[in-house]
A and B are shown apart, each in its own frame.
Chain A
Amino acid sequence: MNLLTKSTYYFLLLSLLAMITGGALLYLTIKKVIYKQIDNSLIIEKTIIQDQIEQTDTIPDFEATFGHQIEVKLLNYAVRNYQSIKDTDIYDSKTDSFTPFRYIFSTGNTIQKKGYIITIFQEISEKNELLQDISLYMFFLFFSLLLISILINYLIARRLWRPFYKSVKIAGRFDIQSDKPLDLPLTDINEFNQLNDVFYDMTHKMRNDYLNLKEFSENASHEIQTPLAVIRSKTDLLMQQKNLNKESLSLIKSINEATTKLFKLNQGLLLISKIENQVFHEKRIVSLKNILESGLENYTEILQLKKIKVELDLTDGALVEMNDVLAEVLISNLLSNAVRFNIDNGFIKCHIDRNSLTITNTGSSMTIDPEFLFRRFHKGSDNPHSVGLGLSIVKKITETYGMNITYTCHDSVHEIRLQFRHKSH
């Protein structure tokens, strides 16, 4: 639920609650006021009659005021003083219905100690109608007030939060690799400006950290090259020495293998960091078909040796705009995997059309999610010569050009599919 809906929702809920309570209270108050008025008029009338009876001992000749119906009875005996005001419904035979009345019932004694009973009725259906009308108007008033205030609230909130949503949208598009700082709009709301400042500082710091890290890894990789070259040169010299015994040879072999692995690792990481640093920013139109065909030539003999069948379905028009070095790295890494992890008498199928490249090959079955292999140092095999960077490099390159890459494996048949993103012209 977004903020606007949520605030409107709460506003509506609380307003309704306030409206119901307020409405009820108002209704009761008005009702009380009306009843008090009725009661007062009943008491006044009763007092007038009572005074007359008490002074004259006769039923006074009265005329009903306020539209009251008055009944007075004189008794021959004394009664207790009593007075009550109540509601009642009286059956009206003319209309065959009950009409609500308020009445006062009062007893007292004259000076001669004779009792009298005064009952005065006041019809209250009119008053009730008034009450109902008031309530209805009140309800409409409240309701329209509520609607208007919700609308105003919504509009204000939407306007106030606009810079926030804009900032969030801009911050969401933040690309750590882009040089451009976040272009956040200046608002007249301090809190949002603060938020923007925080966004800005945070991304700035993130970018700096990222650059430092990137620079560090590239420098580190470079600096490692020379010592590696020294180690390699020394082992090269060492192994050329005559009269080496088997043990020494075995030791040199281990050093040599470790150096090679370190070198490959370093070279792979350096390549990734270079791709990230956009060293390969120059683009040209490359034909993946040509690259793939010449790439396959590298493996002619090994394919024959392993009796791997190659099926090509390559469209001439499949041209992609990318760096030619990276295109070669991409294809050679994919082909190398397809050949290396293939089985004897297996197959490799390559398909290229205008929008995609698919390489399908036989191999061993996989227990892990093939997508994991795109991560650095994740290896699908326990081959000690593999450093686990090939597919990360592939992934990095595809990311650079906004290509979509998927790796699936069904029944030992592996499929890597690349979808190109063509610029719409």
Chain B
Amino acid sequence: MKLLIVEDDRSLSRSINDYLKMEGHICEVALTFSDAMQKAAVNKYDCIILDIGLPDGNGLDLIREMKSKKLTGGILILSAKSSLDDKVVGLKIGADDYLTKPFHFAELSARINSIHRRNNFLGLNEITFNEIRIKTEDNQVYVNDTLLILTKKEYDLLLFFMANTNRIITKESIVEHLWGDNVILTDSFDFVYTHVKNLRKKIVAAQGRNYIKCIYGFGYKFIDT
């Protein structure tokens, strides 16, 4: 995927760049509003990761500009302000998603994948990982052509793992992904453990391999052994 990272904090933009490159994406970084406008006008990106608070302009204007020029590509807003207004306005004028700082890279990755899936209808509504096949259109998971009966949480968890294969995913990021912002104070990691355990059990029961590796103290890694 070709991505544009618009973030004025050098350190953060570099981190995002590094991580997304590691994920196999092609990334470009714009540190200012004008730079971002230029890059977005010239190149075609699959997704733009956009910080709203830029020193020389409001990220929301960039979205308006892009939409008026009918530029395609998903937009993921990144903001320190979890202010509802920004979120509502941003989504209204055409952004695809909204992520509040600080975020986990695993979450960022999952969101970018999800935006990409939604914006590209052809051939992308199916994710395959060896014997595991996920039909994202109707939320169905097959392991060796056996349909898995998963709970909503287990399904989300599997999708989250899929978006971050071969990466360490912290338990914190899983909690945030599964329960969202409102349940920030639900921090009992037993929850995660239960879900992971059940998911693993179901995959293995359908003759799937155990890809979920526990990284002690940290979280998990969905790894192709």
Q: Mark B8-52, 1 if CB is under 8 A from A, else 0.
A: 010110011011001000000000000000000000000000000
B190 touches A263 (CB 8 A): no
Q: Which one of B19, B170, B191 contacts A256 once the chains associate, using CB atoms below 8 Å? A: B170
A229 touches B185 (CB 8 A): no
| Interface size band for A | 35 or more
Chain B contacts of A236 at CB under 8 A? 15, 19, 104-106, 170
A232 touches B194 (CB 8 A): no
Chain B contacts of A249 at CB under 8 A? 215, 217-218
Instruction: Given A279-B83, A298-B179, A325-B84, decide whether A232 and B186 contact each other with a Cβ distance below 8 A.
Output: no
Interface residues of A in 227-281 (CB under 8 A from B): 228-234, 236-237, 239-240, 249-250, 252-253, 256-257, 259-260, 263-264, 267-268, 270, 274, 279-280
Interface residues of B in 158-206 (CB under 8 A from A): 167-168, 170, 172, 179, 181-191, 194-195, 198
B9 touches A226 (CB 8 A): yes
Chain A interface secondary structure, helix, strand, loop or mixed?
helix
B10, closest chain A residue (CB):
A230
The count of residues in chain B whose C-beta lies closer than 8 Å to any C-beta of chain A is 45
Q: How far is the CA of A397 from the CA of B214 in the complex (A)?
A: 39
21 A-B pairs (CB sep. < 8 Å)? A228-B101, A229-B101, A230-B9, A232-B104, A233-B19, A233-B105, A236-B15, A236-B106, A239-B170, A240-B19, A249-B218, A250-B217, A263-B102, A264-B185, A267-B82, A301-B191, A301-B195, A302-B188, A302-B191, A325-B182, A389-B185
| Nearest CB of B to A378, in Å | 14
Chain B contacts of A232 at CB under 8 A? 102-104
Chain B contacts of A234 at CB under 8 A? 11, 15
Question: Is B209 among interface residues, defined by CB-CB distance under 8 A?
Answer: no
Q: How far is the CA of A231 from the CA of B11 in the complex (A)?
A: 9
B84 touches A222 (CB 8 A): no
B102 touches A228 (CB 8 A): yes
Q: How far is the CA of A339 from the CA of B190 in the complex (A)?
A: 11
Q: Which one of A222, A298, A387 contacts B80 once the chains associate, using CB atoms below 8 Å? A: A222
Question: Is A39 among interface residues, defined by CB-CB distance under 8 A?
Answer: no
Chain B contacts of A222 at CB under 8 A? 80-81
Question: Is A336 among interface residues, defined by CB-CB distance under 8 A?
Answer: yes
Interface residues of B in 39-78 (CB under 8 A from A): none
| Nearest CB of B to A194, in Å | 43
Question: Is A52 among interface residues, defined by CB-CB distance under 8 A?
Answer: no
Instruction: Given A233-B16, A256-B170, decide whether A390 and B83 contact each other with a Cβ distance below 8 A.
Output: no
Question: Is B153 among interface residues, defined by CB-CB distance under 8 A?
Answer: yes
| Nearest CB of B to A373, in Å | 13
B187 touches A385 (CB 8 A): yes
B105 touches A237 (CB 8 A): yes
Question: Is A353 among interface residues, defined by CB-CB distance under 8 A?
Answer: no
Q: How far is the CA of A222 from the CA of B179 in the complex (A)?
A: 22
B178, closest chain A residue (CB):
A298
Closest 9 CB pairs of A and B: A229-B102, A233-B15, A225-B80, A229-B101, A385-B187, A228-B102, A236-B105, A336-B186, A232-B102
Interface residues of A in 311-337 (CB under 8 A from B): 325, 328-329, 332-333, 336
| Nearest CB of A to B9, in Å | 6
A239 touches B168 (CB 8 A): yes
Chain B contacts of A237 at CB under 8 A? 15, 18-19, 22, 105
Q: Mark A366-392, 1 if CB is under 8 A from B, else 0.
A: 000000000000000000011101100
| Nearest CB of A to B192, in Å | 10
Q: Which one of A250, A257, A259, A385 contacts B188 once the chains associate, using CB atoms below 8 Å? A: A385
| Nearest CB of A to B149, in Å | 13
Chain A contacts of B151 at CB under 8 A? 300-301
Find the residue from A223, A268, A336, A386 having the highest chain B CB count within 10 A: A336
Q: How far is the CA of A389 from the CA of B182 in the complex (A)?
A: 13
| Nearest CB of B to A292, in Å | 13
